[in-house]
């Protein structure tokens, strides 16, 4: 991480300073913290619940450390100039998630209703699988631009993944939302994988079409109105999102995909009018569907008046759930500083306490202070992702990076906002924290792709270019 | 493409900012409201996380605790629960708390503000929070005598005994009763026990605290109030002057004759004689002569028409303010609308025994911190002065005659002066329901002070409709309670 000796070209805007230090040792130092903090948290839970340091402390710490170490070594070898923060951030979130899941495993109430008990070891296994996929991305994806070739295959794959939960016998309805499929004893959320594949498709597609979408337009009241035929793509994505909303009845998934598309469209075309269109279309779609889809209506009602929903649930009304109110109580009971690990009662949320609602456990036991820190960790991941997009030197990389980070930010907002009662609840999970294989594995792959793009962006340019003109073609518009 | 990228970065920042603001709203602004919401189970979990303090009678705890399964750690248990239930009320993991358990909940759970400093200290030193104790004024022997007496009769009823000089409640029993231990938990057994105790499943309504919450027509026991009114308002000056009482007496404004129970020597009888044989005609006429206002004034001074807080709330006893002449006459012999709680009649007796001064009845002597320091002590307090000391002594001598050779001979105690009054109240349409047998009395020691005043009421189907039943059924219980108090003072 020495060489600042390369005095070569001064590029206009990209931040990926040529000849920048690789920052791999920074990453290693941060990773030590990212492993130690969950280990201490784990000890803390054990001491609070059973008055003893948990027996699995060493193996747990060793396991997390090993996984992080493997990740680090692979990055050091295959993506030496990658962003140094993303891997430690993901490791820290994943580790804290494991602690919270283990903590909920200790709850007799959740054990009795089969909502927890052996979730933590499984989550550790999923984490290993996630890191394995991460390693595979690092090793086999030498250059993210390769993905460009798979633009239309990605589209087909994404549609396939999105439609899977609707296949009879395969799809699974959990509390009204049909975004899972059941394979053997595993429940898979194909949407988590579709998120990445769709980002690849949008990036590839928009890179090709951006000029047509951006330039051919008429000006009307300060907005560039696209031509009718250019509305095609956004209409198609909108229709698909509406279909997801109607048939899978999950507002979050629908919002996530449409939002991701609008963000990428805006970045690709630089036309604010797309944002306006996007907002209008999502509003029309959401309100329209909510007006006839009872499950969405019920989610909205529960959001508007969680106490009423709680009472209906207590009165054994079918289809009502007290989760929303229980989550609010968990947050409120945590207060400013929280109860401390293992001393809250977030198990009262019962169903999905360690997955969709895991944020409530953090809110109650770590308090406002801890939860804000946690949200800022997510913000940092998004920030590193956007920075990667800024630094990327190719439009495909830029679009892919902003698509993935934008989707990540939207997912965090939709899930955290849902659990905290800011927006209606959805069936998605908090990346890295929540129990669930699909989420962990897919998000590790997402981090892998972001690292690959950032490595390409920050990698020192090959020695002085033969033709200085060629270099000029790399300049990206500010 | 970097300009829109920066805008998207700002957008993502705003998303996170929105979440942070919402989080602050939830966990800072609304935190206390959510934390203390009655439906938030954490409130109950916290409440049952440590053993509750105890309720103390005669230096011994009548409560204890047991551990339970599930997220509520401790539940309340009671020793002789059925006997003490009217005093303690209950506290249940599933059904909340009532009466003393509810009123002094803060002390018993340790959450009271007065324990704040100690709690803060405990939090720093890591000690577990403890509850304080509630020390009652009750007398275990008197309570046992009262409850056993009611139980032996096997009929619904209640007993209240008060120490006249202070207002301390010595005994408060109600029958049939229930063991609050059975409903203290939150398991199925507690639920079934709770259902069995509900009035709709159990016509005996065992959870009704008859000593405080049931009003009964006081019948002839109310005649002592009428007598007090007559003396206080100067209608008659002594116990032994002849009254202006025709027999038969037709109630003014009606053609109905007021009847006595049997062929009693009531014509122009003295107040003493009229009380001894319990003349309806004499006291009905006295009430009529005094009128609604004067009767009401004296009744109010004894505590009628007001809820009492001992500190558990009692129902208000009734004496109406808008009656015509015949209604006043009937009311003055404890009929028509007149109704009293057993506590009320004990207060009447206690005021007479305490030479005319009514002390405010109370049953919590002191509240103790977990280390037994006294946090709050109840001092005896004068509530009113329904009659002068002279008149009180006249009334005492009349009531002592009742016990010596009147309807209340069953309450006599060797070597102790006892004054009392029997009563039988009819009720229901055409008196169709079981009559109530009443007895009120006090004991007086040689120095003229009175250690105990007691009121007993029994709803008994076997009670015949005369004053004998009050003396026959209720007086022996009153006697046992008074003896128990006198014995425990020795």
Helix (H) or strand (E) holding B157: strand B156-163
- With pLDDT > 90 as the criterion, what percentage of chain A qualifies? 47
- Using the predicted structure, report yes or no on whether residue A470 has a pLDDT greater than 60: no
Distance CA B55, CA B87 (A): 10
Q: Report the pLDDT averaged over residues A38-53.
A: 92
pLDDT the model gives residue A8: 44
Instruction: From B400, B404, B411, B468, select the one nearest B437 (Cα to Cα).
Output: B468
CA atoms within 13 A on the CB side of A476: 21
- Contact criterion met (CB below 8 Å) for B439 and B411: yes
Sequence-ordered list of residues with C-beta below 8 angstroms from that of B407, at least 6 positions apart, any chain: B276, B277, B278, B421, B422, B467, B468, B470, B471
Sequence-ordered list of residues with C-beta below 8 angstroms from that of A215, at least 6 positions apart, any chain: none
The alpha-carbon gap from B150 to the nearest alpha carbon of chain A, in Å, equals 41
- Using the predicted structure, report yes or no on whether residue A226 has a pLDDT greater than 80: no
- pTM for this one? 0.76
- pLDDT tens digits, B342-368: 999 999 999 999 999 999 999 999 999
- Using the predicted structure, report yes or no on whether residue A93 has a pLDDT greater than 60: yes
CB contact under 8 A, A422 and B30: no
Instruction: From B280, B277, B209, B254, select the one nearest B426 (Cα to Cα).
Output: B280
- Using the predicted structure, report yes or no on whether residue B55 has a pLDDT greater than 60: yes
- Using the predicted structure, report yes or no on whether residue A89 has a pLDDT greater than 80: yes
Residue B465: pLDDT band by 50, 70, 90 thresholds? low
In the stretch 317-356 of chain A, residues with CB closer than 8 A to chain B read 325, 328-329, 331-336, 345, 348
pLDDT the model gives residue A376: 97
Taking the CA atoms of B44, B45, B48 and B50 in sequence, report the sign of the dihedral they define.
negative
The alpha-carbon gap from A335 to the nearest alpha carbon of chain B, in Å, equals 5
- Count Cβ atoms within 10 A of the Cβ of residue B77 and give its class: 0-12 exposed, 13-18 middle, 19 or more buried: middle
CB contact under 8 A, B12 and A417: no
Residue B47: pLDDT band by 50, 70, 90 thresholds? confident
- pLDDT tens digits, B364-406: 999 998 888 888 899 999 999 999 999 999 999 999 999 998 8
Residue A9: pLDDT band by 50, 70, 90 thresholds? very low
The catalytically annotated residue of B92, B171, B186, B220 is: B220
- pLDDT tens digits, A299-332: 888 899 999 888 888 888 877 888 889 999 999 9
Residue A375, chain B, CB below 8 Å: the answer is yes
Query: Which chain A residues are closer than 8 Å to B45 by Cβ?
Result: 345
Distance CA A382, CA A376 (A): 10
For B432-486, give the DSSP string. Answer: -SPPEEEEEEEEE-TTS--SEEEEEEEE-TT--SSHHHIIIIIHHHHHHHHHHHH
How confident is the prediction for chain A on average, in pLDDT? 85
Domains and CATH numbers, chain B: 214-364+379-489 (3.40.710.10)
- pLDDT tens digits, B20-31: 999 999 999 999
Residue B428: pLDDT band by 50, 70, 90 thresholds? low
The residue count of chain A comes to: 478
For A453-472, give the DSSP string. Answer: HHHHHHSPPSSS-S-HHHHH
Any catalytic annotation for residue B220?
yes
Which of B19, B49, B70 is the best residue to mutate to test the A interface, defined by the most A CB atoms within 10 Å of its own CB? B19
Residue keyed to tokens 């920030």: A383
CB contact under 8 A, B13 and A379: yes
Across the interface, of B31, B39, B45, the residue whose CB is closest to A335 is B31
Residue keyed to tokens 């004759």: B257
Which region, left, alpha or beta, applies to residue A35 given φ > 0 means left and ψ of -120 to 50 means alpha?
A: alpha
pLDDT the model gives residue B464: 53
Report CA-CA distances (Å) from A404 to A171, A234, B16, B24.
26, 18, 16, 28
- With pLDDT > 90 as the criterion, what percentage of chain B qualifies? 54
The alpha-carbon gap from B424 to the nearest alpha carbon of chain A, in Å, equals 48
Taking the CA atoms of A415, A418, A421 and A422 in sequence, report the sign of the dihedral they define.
positive
* Phi then psi dihedrals of residue A180, to 5 deg: -115, 155
Residue A371, chain B, CB below 8 Å: the answer is yes
Distance CA B341, CA B114 (A): 34
ipTM: 0.90
- Using the predicted structure, report yes or no on whether residue A465 has a pLDDT greater than 70: no
- For residue A283 the two structure tokens come to 């509003």
| Beta-sheet strands, E only, within B182-294 | 249-250, 257-258
Across the interface, of B8, B28, B71, the residue whose CB is closest to A406 is B8
- Contact criterion met (CB below 8 Å) for A180 and A165: yes
Distance CA A317, CA A307 (A): 14
In the stretch 142-181 of chain A, residues with CB closer than 8 A to chain B read none
Which region, left, alpha or beta, applies to residue B99 given φ > 0 means left and ψ of -120 to 50 means alpha?
A: left
Across the interface, of B16, B34, B42, the residue whose CB is closest to A379 is B16
Between A10 and A337, the higher pLDDT residue: A337
- pLDDT tens digits, B95-106: 888 999 999 988
pLDDT the model gives residue A16: 47
Residue B71, chain A, CB below 8 Å: the answer is yes
Query: Which chain B residues are closer than 8 Å to A372 by Cβ?
Result: 20, 23-24
Strands B417-425 and B96-97, how do they pair? unpaired
Instruction: From A304, A301, A331, A330, select the one nearest A317 (Cα to Cα).
Output: A301
Q: Report the pLDDT averaged over residues A47-64.
A: 89
- Contact criterion met (CB below 8 Å) for A440 and A358: no
| Beta-sheet strands, E only, within A372-478 | none
Strands B364-368 and B257-258, how do they pair? unpaired
- Using the predicted structure, report yes or no on whether residue B14 has a pLDDT greater than 70: yes
Residue keyed to tokens 């009628």: B304
- With pLDDT > 70 as the criterion, what percentage of chain B qualifies? 96
Q: Report the pLDDT averaged over residues A207-228.
A: 73
- Using the predicted structure, report yes or no on whether residue B461 has a pLDDT greater than 90: no
The alpha-carbon gap from B47 to the nearest alpha carbon of chain A, in Å, equals 14
Which of B3, B6, B9, B72 is the best residue to mutate to test the A interface, defined by the most A CB atoms within 10 Å of its own CB? B9
Sequence-ordered list of residues with C-beta below 8 angstroms from that of A451, at least 6 positions apart, any chain: A75, A79, A82, A83, A86, A87, A138
Residue A364: pLDDT band by 50, 70, 90 thresholds? very high
- Contact criterion met (CB below 8 Å) for A97 and A434: yes
- pLDDT tens digits, B111-132: 888 887 777 777 777 677 788 8
Instruction: From B102, B111, B100, select the one nearest B57 (Cα to Cα).
Output: B100
pLDDT the model gives residue A10: 44
- For residue A237 the two structure tokens come to 């994505």
Range scoring the smallest mean pLDDT among A179-183, A253-257, A360-364: A179-183
Torsion on CA atoms A444, A447, A452, A454, rounded to nearest 10: -170
Residue A472: pLDDT band by 50, 70, 90 thresholds? low
* Phi then psi dihedrals of residue B483, to 5 deg: -60, -45
Angle between helices B140-153 and B475-489 (to 10 degrees): 160
CB contact under 8 A, B12 and A422: no
- pLDDT tens digits, A386-421: 999 999 989 999 999 999 999 999 999 999 999 999
Residue A316, chain B, CB below 8 Å: the answer is no
- Contact criterion met (CB below 8 Å) for A116 and A162: no
pLDDT the model gives residue B223: 93
CA atoms within 13 A on the CB side of A191: 32
Residue A372, chain B, CB below 8 Å: the answer is yes
- For residue A258 the two structure tokens come to 């449409």
- Using the predicted structure, report yes or no on whether residue B56 has a pLDDT greater than 90: yes
For A147-209, give the DSSP string. Answer: GGGGHHHHHHHHHHHHHGGGSTTTEEEETTEEEEEEETTEEE-HHHHHHHHHHHHHHHHHHHH
Residue A413, chain B, CB below 8 Å: the answer is yes
- pLDDT tens digits, A118-173: 888 899 999 999 999 999 999 999 999 999 999 889 988 988 888 888 887 777 77
The residues spanned by each domain of chain A are 24-459
- pLDDT tens digits, B174-194: 989 999 999 988 888 888 999
- Using the predicted structure, report yes or no on whether residue A468 has a pLDDT greater than 90: no
Q: What is the DSSP letter of B431?
A: G
Residue A14: pLDDT band by 50, 70, 90 thresholds? very low
Range scoring the smallest mean pLDDT among A366-375, A469-478, B138-147: A469-478
- Other CB atoms within a 10 A radius of the CB of residue B111 amount to 15
In the stretch 1-60 of chain B, residues with CB closer than 8 A to chain A read 1-9, 11-13, 15-16, 18-20, 22-24, 26-28, 30-35, 37, 39-42, 45
């Amino acid at each position: 991480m020495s060489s600042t000796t390369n005095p070569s070209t001064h590029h206009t805007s990209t931040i990926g300073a040529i000849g920048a230090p690789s920052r791999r040792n920074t990453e290693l130092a941060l990773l030590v913290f990212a492993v130690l903090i969950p280990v201490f948290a784990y000890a803390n839970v054990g001491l609070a619940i059973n008055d003893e340091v948990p027996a699995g402390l060493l193996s747990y710490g060793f396991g997390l450390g090993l996984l992080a170490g493997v990740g680090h070594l692979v990055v050091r070898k295959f993506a030496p100039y990658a962003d140094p923060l993303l891997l430690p951030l993901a490791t820290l979130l994943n580790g804290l998630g494991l602690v919270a899941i283990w903590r909920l495993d200790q709850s007799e109430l959740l054990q009795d209703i089969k909502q927890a008990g052996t979730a933590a070891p499984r989550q550790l296994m999923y984490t290993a699988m996630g890191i394995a996929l991460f390693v595979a991305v690092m090793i086999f994806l030498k250059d993210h631009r390769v993905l460009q070739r798979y633009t239309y295959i990605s589209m087909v794959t994404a549609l396939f993944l999105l439609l899977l939960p609707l296949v009879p016998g395969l799809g699974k309805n959990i509390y009204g939302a049909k975004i899972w499929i059941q394979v053997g004893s595993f429940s898979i959320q194909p949407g988590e994988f579709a998120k990445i594949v769709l980002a690849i498709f949008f990036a590839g597609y928009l890179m090709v079409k951006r000029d047509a979408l951006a330039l051919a337009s008429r000006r009307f009241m300060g907005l560039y109105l696209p031509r009718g035929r250019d509305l095609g793509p956004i209409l198609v994505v909108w229709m698909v999102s509406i279909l997801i909303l109607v048939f899978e009845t999950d507002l979050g998934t629908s919002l996530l995909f449409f939002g991701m598309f609008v963000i990428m469209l805006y970045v690709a075309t630089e036309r604010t009018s797309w944002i306006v269109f996007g907002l209008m279309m999502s509003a029309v779609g959401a309100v329209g569907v909510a007006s006839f889809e009872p499950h969405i209506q019920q989610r909205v009602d529960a959001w508007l008046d969680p106490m009423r929903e709680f009472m209906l649930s207590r009165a054994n009304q079918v289809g009502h759930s007290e989760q929303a109110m229980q989550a609010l109580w968990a947050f409120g009971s945590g207060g400013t500083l929280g109860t401390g690990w293992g001393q809250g009662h977030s198990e009262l949320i019962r169903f999905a306490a360690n997955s969709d609602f895991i944020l409530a456990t953090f809110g109650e036991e770590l308090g406002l202070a801890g939860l804000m820190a946690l949200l800022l960790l997510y913000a940092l991941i998004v920030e590193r992702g956007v920075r990667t997009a800024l630094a990327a030197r190719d439009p495909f990389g830029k679009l892919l990076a902003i698509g993935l980070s934008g989707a990540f930010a939207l997912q965090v907002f939709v899930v955290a906002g849902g659990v905290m009662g800011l927006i209606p609840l959805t069936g998605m999970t908090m990346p890295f924290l929540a129990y669930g294989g699909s989420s962990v594995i897919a998000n590790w792959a997402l981090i892998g792709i972001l690292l690959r793009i950032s490595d390409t962006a920050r990698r020192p340019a090959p020695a002085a270019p033969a033709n200085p003109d060629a270099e000029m073609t790399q300049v990206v518009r500010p | 493409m970097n300009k829109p990228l920066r805008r998207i970065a700002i957008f993502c920042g705003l998303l996170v900012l929105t979440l942070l603001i919402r989080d602050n709203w939830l966990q800072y602004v609304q935190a206390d409201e959510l934390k203390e919401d009655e439906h938030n189970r954490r409130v109950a979990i916290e409440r049952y996380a440590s053993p509750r303090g105890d309720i103390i009678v005669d230096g011994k705890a009548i409560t204890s605790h047991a551990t339970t399964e599930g997220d509520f750690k401790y539940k309340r248990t009671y020793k002789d629960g059925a006997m003490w239930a009217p005093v303690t009320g209950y506290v249940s993991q599933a059904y909340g708390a009532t009466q003393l358990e509810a009123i002094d909940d803060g002390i018993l759970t340790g959450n009271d503000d007065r324990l704040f400093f100690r709690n803060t200290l405990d939090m720093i030193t890591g000690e577990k929070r403890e509850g304080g104790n509630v020390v009652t004024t009750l007398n275990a022997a008197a309570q046992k005598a009262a409850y056993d007496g009611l139980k032996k009769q096997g009929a619904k009823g209640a007993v209240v005994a008060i120490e006249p000089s202070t207002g301390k409640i010595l005994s408060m029993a109600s029958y049939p009763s229930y063991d609050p231990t059975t409903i203290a938990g939150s398991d199925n057994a507690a639920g079934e026990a709770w259902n069995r105790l509900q009035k709709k499943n159990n016509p005996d309504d065992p959870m009704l605290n008859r000593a405080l919450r049931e009003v009964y027509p006081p019948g002839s026991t109310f005649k002592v109030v009428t007598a007090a009114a007559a003396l206080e308002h100067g209608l008659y000056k002594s116990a032994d002057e002849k009254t202006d009482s025709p027999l038969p007496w037709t109630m003014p404004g009606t053609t109905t004759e007021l009847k006595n129970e049997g062929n009693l020597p009531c014509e122009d009888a003295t107040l003493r004689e009229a009380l001894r044989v319990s003349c309806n005609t004499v006291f009905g006429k006295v009430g009529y002569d005094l009128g609604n206002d004067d009767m009401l004034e004296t009744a109010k001074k004894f505590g009628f028409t007001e809820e009492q807080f001992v500190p558990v709330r009692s129902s208000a006893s009734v004496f109406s303010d808008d009656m015509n002449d015949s209604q006043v006459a009937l009311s003055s012999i404890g009929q028509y609308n007149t109704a009293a709680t057993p506590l009320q009649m004990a207060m009447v007796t206690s005021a007479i025994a305490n030479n005319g001064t009514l002390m405010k009845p109370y049953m919590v002597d002191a509240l103790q911190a977990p280390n037994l320091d006294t946090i709050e002590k109840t001092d005896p307090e004068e509530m009113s002065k329904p009659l002068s000391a002279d008149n009180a002594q006249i009334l005492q001598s009349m009531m002592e005659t009742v016990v010596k050779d009147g309807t209340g001979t069953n309450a006599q105690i060797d070597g102790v002066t006892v004054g009392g009054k029997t009563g039988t109240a009819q009720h229901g349409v055409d008196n169709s329901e079981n009559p109530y047998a009443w007895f009120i009395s006090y004991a007086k020691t040689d120095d003229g002070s009175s250690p105990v005043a007691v009121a007993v009421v029994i709803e008994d189907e076997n009670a015949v409709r005369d004053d004998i039943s009050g003396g026959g059924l209720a007086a022996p219980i009153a006697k046992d309670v008074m003896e128990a108090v006198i014995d425990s003072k020795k």
